A and B are shown apart, each in its own frame.
Chain A
Amino acid sequence: MTVAEVFQEISAADFFYRNRDIAGFTSPSRSIYSTIRELVENSLDACETGGIPPDIYVRLSHESGPLDGPGVYDLRIEDNGIGVPGDVIPSAFGQVLYGSKYKLRQTRGTFGLGGKMALLYGQITTHGEAQISSSTNPKQKITEIGLRTDIQHNKPVVLKKKTRPNSSHWKGTIIEFKTEADYSRAMPRILEYFKQTAIIVPYANLTFVDPRGRLYHFTRGTTVVPPAPTETSPHPYGVDVETVQRMLKLTTAKTLQEFLRKSFQRIGDTTARNFLEYAGFHIEEGPSKRKRKLSKKEAERRDPKNLSAADIVRLVNAMKSYEHFLSPDPTSLSPLGADLLATGIKKELEITDEDVQNGSAFIATLQRKPATYSGFPFIIEVGIASGKQIETQGKILLFRFANKIPLLFDEASDVSWKVVDQIDWRSYKVIPGETPLAIFIHVCSTKIPYKTVGKEFIADRPEVEHEILNAIREASRNLRIYLSRREHLAQEKRRVDVFEKYLPKMAQFSTKLSRAKKEPDIKPLLKGLIKYGVEEGEEEPQ
């Protein structure tokens, strides 16, 4: 074996193929779940970017192989998003790490990697190709492309390409391809994924036709789409040496001070100067004297591109310790908002406004102010619901979301669970496992602090933990009042139940004992009790 063979360079596509485990493609059942999830999320992103209420249609049909094990399936996903221009389609769907960007904003996936992995996995397991149709403009033709990825070279291979008339003025993207899947095992997760997505994206219509021909439809509860997040530059707290190095390579700034101002958020001239002084770098003259022409040598000395490796490390370390940067800009976040979150929860738990008004169900949602951890802004949104619509399953139900994605695995390792677990629920009159209680926690951030690459649970960063705890506490404030009232009503009902059980028996026994012929009429007595008893219409006997 030669050294060259050992250290052969592998393409990005090859790398992800070889390491598909980390992207959630471990087994045929896990893979189909990840595939659907990644593509649905891409579709949702494509709609939200254009402010369009999403209509997503997913169809999974069985092609060959056993129904109760791994087999070949055909997957079709349609959306009404902004579409992909025809000339970009090959790279967008057939080249891993295409269009990587160093700007930050809240999106569901990172670098759009997952969707490509899904297509790649389908190609590898079935040797099939992907059919992509897209339109970016209702007045223009639809582009249809048949595509594969050349894995070794990470290049898209276009097998056929044509355009057809867009008579229905459609805009959006359709992806269809074959892939290996084990639907019988993945089904519960996939259905749960759709249900929870319908909560956190309440403005979407979601349709899923499963291989058994069953149709699951989740109707939107509103057409309000939250504003798309803006792109921002990184915050100095959130960069590492490697990132700064890359940024320096790309920058057009002539001085370090200008570089800071242009490439980072929340840094103006004053902050840049103060920071550089703090960090011990040479500070250039103020803007008024800058017109003076610089000598070539002087310009070279000043050029931030020429910063030594040691200086870059010094710069980044100083960024971490400097305390006077402004907080990261939260406009790059796209939280749902308290109203939309309530809409989603009520819709999928089937809690009506009437239930809430008459006190038979409880819901509280709120959004915390933006906060930061390690230079990344984040916002916590929390919803709390109680009512007979919720099946307790012996514990408090926790629904976790990150950037509008439901997190379904590894609940017990998640920071949200840790917080929920440490709250003394009894002080809110909650009996864990008995009181029907559902808690919804949505973490929005430009960088979700996932604990592992599996991206299923969030690490317990103290700042995030603190925010979640405060959010739950705040949302639970009225829960105690609601539950006390429920308890009171339940007591009233139990009280009336006792009379309804025993008074007829008293009549029966006393009739027999006294050798009377007819039982006394006890209805007036029972009626009198209910007058100041149960208030809920449904429980009141006639």
Chain B
Amino acid sequence: MVSKKEKKSRSKGVVKERKDHVLSSLEQLGGQVYDQLAKKEFPTVKMPSRSIANIIYDDKTRQYILGKRNVKRSARNVRHIRPFTQLLWTAMFTDELTGQNKTSTLRDVFYSAQAYEMDFQDQQESDSLITDLETVTGFSREDFNVFPEERSAIFGDLTIEYTVPGYEGRTLNLASHPDGVMIGPALTTSEFVRPDKKKVDKVIAIEKGGLFTRFIEERVHQRFNAVLIHTAGQAPRATRFLLRRLNQELDLPVYIFTDGDPWGMHIAMVIISGSANAAHLRELNTPDAIWGGVWATDIVDYKLPSDPLTDLDLKRLNELEKDPRYAGGLWQREIDTFRKVRKKSEQEAFSRYGLTYIVDEYLPKKLKLKSNES
């Protein structure tokens, strides 16, 4: 991880260091297989099992992690050798991508494989091989320069320095475009220029695009010294990783605002505690991020316009209630309240009190929260 000393000057170097780790992990995988083949052995590779039984909640890191169970892929097994070879191909492909600083999408991976007669049956198979590679190396696909199509956006008085080819060393202030800047490969691989604490002291993540735009128009970033991030629904991994970096590298507290329903609540939770799907990966979550709202109790307290909860919503609440990530007092209280009032409200519901009410009244109150404990 990053040392305290580095943190104090600039965050520069963090990205490059990580890239070196990624490349050496791939080389290590290749070397392991190469050595076994050279010894006339059928190569094997071990990785943590991603089966449901092996996904456990870790109280310390407050996220889902994989347990101690491992699976072994052996080239001697006729059912294993194909995915094993595909794994190696994927490693080779991403090794080239990362080494040449090129990016790719999951769809690209699927098609590139065909040039090597590494025919994947479908996109799903090639996607799952990427997940295998993540599991073996412990790095996420974005580290291998493989990005999904989904994109979200960032806005605020924060300057970044590109590391992508052709832009190395160039900087960009993230407030320079009023629509926000897309969180893509170039931004994800950028170093942060440490901001002035007086100008930037928090991050606000917003589920809905409309509200993100409203916040920019209402100059929330200046009034509250905030970097604004639009998650566009469930936050993409690159965005979750970026949130974590902002929180860890720049010590910025993160506030999350979602719709007031079980689904919005879970968007916040995945940012905070990670998802079961990504249990094989670390450093994608921001354990100290704070869910600011819209809470079920807000619906009551602010008398927000609301819709009744559907059966699906209620079913989701039952599931979340038993989920270890929701063990905290606030979460159980909100689940209870949702059940009691049987209502849900969107973020836009505050417009009932005027377009600026949410910024003038609601937000200042919520930004006083220090955590979701209490």
A residues whose Cβ falls under 8 Å from a Cβ of B: 495, 498-499, 501-503, 505-507, 509-516, 520-522, 524-525
Question: Which residue from A498, A514, A522, A524 sits with its C-beta under 8 Å from B31?
Answer: A514
In this complex, what residue of B is CB-closest to A494? B78
Question: Which residue from A495, A502, A516 sits with its C-beta under 8 Å from B34?
Answer: A516
Question: Which residues on the B side are within 8 Å of A511 (C-beta)?
Answer: 30, 34
In this complex, what residue of A is CB-closest to B83? A502
Question: Which residues on the A side are within 8 Å of B75 (C-beta)?
Answer: 502-503, 506
Question: Which residues on the A side are within 8 Å of B85 (C-beta)?
Answer: 502, 505-506, 509
Q: Give CA–CA (A505, B34) in the complex, Å.
A: 11
What 10 A-B pairs are tightest by C-beta distance, nearest first?
A513-B30, A514-B30, A520-B37, A510-B33, A514-B31, A509-B88, A510-B34, A502-B85, A520-B38, A514-B34
- The verdict on A509 contacting B82 (CB below 8 Å), with A520-B34, A525-B40, A525-B42 known, is no
B residues 40-56 near A (Cβ < 8 Å) are 40-43
Q: Can you list 23 A-B pairs with a CB-CB distance of less than 8 A?
A: A495-B78, A498-B81, A499-B78, A502-B81, A502-B82, A502-B85, A505-B89, A505-B116, A505-B117, A506-B81, A507-B37, A509-B85, A510-B30, A510-B43, A510-B88, A512-B95, A513-B34, A513-B91, A514-B27, A514-B33, A515-B30, A516-B31, A520-B34
B29 at the interface (CB under 8 A from A): yes
Q: Are A509 and B30 in contact, with the CB atoms below 8 A?
A: yes
- The verdict on A510 contacting B37 (CB below 8 Å), with A498-B78, A499-B78, A505-B85 known, is yes
In this complex, what residue of B is CB-closest to A496? B78
| 14 additional A-B residue pairs with CB within 8 Å, beyond A502-B82, A510-B88, A513-B34 | A499-B81, A502-B75, A503-B81, A506-B37, A506-B43, A506-B84, A507-B37, A509-B88, A509-B89, A510-B34, A512-B92, A514-B31, A514-B33, A525-B40
Across chains A and B, the number of contacting residue pairs, with CB separation under 8 Å, is: 79
Question: Which residues on the B side are within 8 Å of A499 (C-beta)?
Answer: 78, 81
**Distance (Å) between the CB of A113 and the closest chain B CB?**
63
Q: Give CA–CA (A495, B80) in the complex, Å.
A: 12
Question: Which residues on the A side are within 8 Å of B116 (C-beta)?
Answer: 505
Give the size category of B's interface with A. 20 to 34
Q: Give CA–CA (A463, B125) in the complex, Å.
A: 56
**Distance (Å) between the CB of A520 and the closest chain B CB?**
4
Question: Which residues on the B side are within 8 Å of A502 (C-beta)?
Answer: 75, 81-82, 84-85
Q: Give CA–CA (A101, B308) in the complex, Å.
A: 97
Q: Are A513 and B27 in contact, with the CB atoms below 8 A?
A: yes
Q: Give CA–CA (A506, B90) in the complex, Å.
A: 11
Contact residues of B: prevailing secondary structure: helix
Question: Which residues on the A side are within 8 Å of B82 (C-beta)?
Answer: 498, 502
Q: Give CA–CA (A454, B175) in the complex, Å.
A: 92
Contact residues of A: prevailing secondary structure: helix
B276 at the interface (CB under 8 A from A): no
**Distance (Å) between the CB of B105 and the closest chain A CB?**
21
- The verdict on A509 contacting B78 (CB below 8 Å), with A514-B30, A514-B31, A520-B34 known, is no
Q: Give CA–CA (A511, B31) in the complex, Å.
A: 8
Q: Are B33 and A506 in contact, with the CB atoms below 8 A?
A: yes
B26 at the interface (CB under 8 A from A): yes
In this complex, what residue of B is CB-closest to A511? B34
B232 at the interface (CB under 8 A from A): no
**Distance (Å) between the CB of A494 and the closest chain B CB?**
9
B118 at the interface (CB under 8 A from A): yes
B residues whose Cβ falls under 8 Å from a Cβ of A: 26-27, 29-31, 33-34, 37-38, 40-43, 75, 78, 81-82, 84-85, 88-89, 91-92, 95, 116-118
Q: Give CA–CA (A512, B40) in the complex, Å.
A: 18
Q: Are A522 and B30 in contact, with the CB atoms below 8 A?
A: no
In this complex, what residue of A is CB-closest to B81? A502
Question: Which residues on the A side are within 8 Å of B88 (C-beta)?
Answer: 505-506, 509-510, 513
In this complex, what residue of A is CB-closest to B84? A506
- The verdict on A509 contacting B92 (CB below 8 Å), with A503-B81, A514-B34 known, is yes
Question: Which residues on the B side are within 8 Å of A507 (C-beta)?
Answer: 37
**Distance (Å) between the CB of A149 and the closest chain B CB?**
71
Question: Which residue from B30, B41, B43, B78 sits with its C-beta under 8 Å from A512?
Answer: B30
Q: Are A524 and B40 in contact, with the CB atoms below 8 A?
A: yes
Q: Give CA–CA (A56, B173) in the complex, Å.
A: 98
Question: Which residues on the A side are within 8 Å of B78 (C-beta)?
Answer: 495, 498-499
In this complex, what residue of A is CB-closest to B30? A513
Q: Give CA–CA (A513, B88) in the complex, Å.
A: 8
Indicate the member of A501, A509, A512, A515 with the most B CB atoms within 10 Å.
A509
In this complex, what residue of A is CB-closest to B37? A520
Q: Give CA–CA (A524, B40) in the complex, Å.
A: 7
**Distance (Å) between the CB of A429 and the closest chain B CB?**
22
Indicate the member of B34, B81, B118 with the most A CB atoms within 10 Å.
B34
**Distance (Å) between the CB of A438 and the closest chain B CB?**
33
In this complex, what residue of A is CB-closest to B116? A505
**Distance (Å) between the CB of A334 and the closest chain B CB?**
54
**Distance (Å) between the CB of B16 and the closest chain A CB?**
20
Q: Are B81 and A513 in contact, with the CB atoms below 8 A?
A: no
